Structure 1
Amino acid sequence: MTKQVKYYDLYDDVYIPGRWHLRMPLDDEEGLEELFDVGRFKEGRLLDIQKPIRISMNPAGIPLEFSHALGVPIVHRRVVSLFERLGLQEEVQFIPVEVEGQTEPWFILNALQVIRCIDDARCEEVLHWLPEDNRPDKEAGEYRNVSGLKIDPEKLGEAHVFRPWGWKVILIVSEHVKLALEEEGITGTKFIEV
């Protein structure tokens, strides 16, 4: 009998005292509103970004190696190195960004997989977008809200980093990735089993 792989919602620990809070893009970045359409970083596809994205802090504080800016994961180069050692280059894209006041390299973590895996029956509550909601930007069946998220591991194959179809506001990682992030001491991470 094989052990069932566990998966976790990986998110930004907003309760770390004195931590930084990232905003983006910087207000003086003319024309970057379209470039930094946060939705494109949640579509599960490679992006070709030519202009550097500059990120501000408000308030400034202690840098975290994993944090969010408008819901988009921003990571330190140590996370990039860890994912490379784990062999996850096919599952993620790291897009360089400049963080205000920082000389070290930082990156957007762009998950390259969106997988239909939410187990509606095991979630506490799910609400779907319906045609009568008149939301042409939403595909029929996408989730309007999910409480107590649970996924079906049988639908994931060998995936280690992905977003769930219909609820792409979260980033899910395998237990293998979770344990590696913890062992490496990556700051700013918080996990909820899904």
Structure 2
Amino acid sequence: MEMRYFRLSDDVYLPGRWELGRLSDQRGEEVWPALLMRGEPAHIEGRIKAPVKIAGKPLDFSHAAMGIPVVHVRAASVFKELAAEDVQFFPVDIEGHPEQYLILNVTRVVKCIDDQASEEVRYWKPEDGRPEKTGQYRAVYGMRMDPSKMGDAKVFRPWGWTVALIVSEEIKEALERIGATGTKFKEV
């Protein structure tokens, strides 16, 4: 039976939930979001801080500003158990929640977007004036994956569209089993 995959995102419609702000390093400087969304290992010195922008119920999975995944240690344990080789964690200090949260950095990229099965894909063209991006995805709507290209991947970012965080059905079910709050899954 073919493994199913899901885009994991932050359920922003949960009533009464918290909202986290921009990450900063120990010097108070913003942590560059792209550093944690490239699908590769990152190096960050010291502790990271995440302010609570809007107070509310803490979640097991949520995004800090710019879509950076922040996970409670319970949710982190799922990723450590099922996909340890493809994830990296950084402790994050959230006011009122010491030692409970980690930044999730997914360090694997898989070239697997199925352009034909996806609703719409757009590429950067030379006339767009961004030569460094020519040939890369500019937009992906209704993203679908080609399961034949997944290999043994359980958590990854799709090549060319690393803003998306993809998990296997196994990780989805494990997060559901522990009752992880804040997760939203859409099959891809």
Report what 1:7 is aligned to.
Answer: 5
2:119 counterpart of 1:124: yes
**SS class of match (2:51):** strand
Deviation at 1:134, TM superposition (A): 1.6
Pair 1:102-2:100 in alignment: no
Note closer, same or farther for the CA distance 1:136–1:29 as it changes in structure 2 (3 Å cut).
farther
Matches within 5 A, 1:166-181: 166-181=160-175
* Match in the other structure for 1:185: 179
Aligned residue number for residue 165 of structure 1? 159
Contact preservation (8 Å) 1:126, 1:144: yes
- Cross-structure match for 1:44: 39
Aligned-residue Cα RMSD (Å) equals 1.6
Q: How many residue pairs get matched? A: 187
One-letter code aligned to 1:171: L
- Which residue, 66, 69, 76 being the options, matches 1:73? 69
Amino acid at match of 1:83: F
Distance 1:136 1:17 in 2: 43
Task: Give the secondary structure class of the aligned counterpart of 1:179.
Answer: helix
Cα distance, 1:146 vs. partner? 1.0
In structure 1, the residue corresponding to 2:98 is in which secondary structure? coil
- Distance in 1, Cα, partners of 2:85 & 2:38: 15
Whole-angstrom CA distance in 2 between matches of 1:137 and 1:75: 33
- Secondary structure, counterpart of 1:157 in structure 2: coil
Whole-angstrom distance in 2 between the partners of 1:76 and 1:131: 43
Cα pair 1:91 1:161 within 8 Å, conserved: yes
- For residue 16 of structure 1, what is the amino acid of its counterpart? L
The offset of 1:101, in angstroms, is 2.3
Partner of 2:14: 16
The answer as to whether partners of 1:141 and 1:166 remain within 8 angstroms in 2 is no
Aligned partners of 1:44 and 1:32: how far apart in 2?
22
Write the letter of the residue equivalent to 2:115: D
Contact kept? 2:5, 2:167, Cα under 8 Å? yes
1:73 counterpart SS class: strand
Q: What 5-or-longer segments of structure 2 have no aligned partner? A: none
Change (3 A) 1:61 1:136: farther
Identical counterparts, % of pairs: 51
Shift of 1:51: 2.4
Segments of 5+ residues of structure 1 without an aligned counterpart are none
- Report the TM-score when normalising by structure 1: 0.91
Q: Secondary structure at the match of 2:97?
A: coil
Alpha-carbon deviation of 1:149?
Answer: 0.5
Q: TM-score if structure 2 supplies the norm length?
A: 0.94
Q: 2:78 aligns with which of 77, 82, 86?
A: 82
Conserved 8 A contact 2:62-2:71: yes
Displacement of 1:40 in angstroms is: 1.0
SS at 2:71's partner residue? Answer: strand
Is 1:142–1:165's contact at 8 Å kept on the other side of the alignment? no
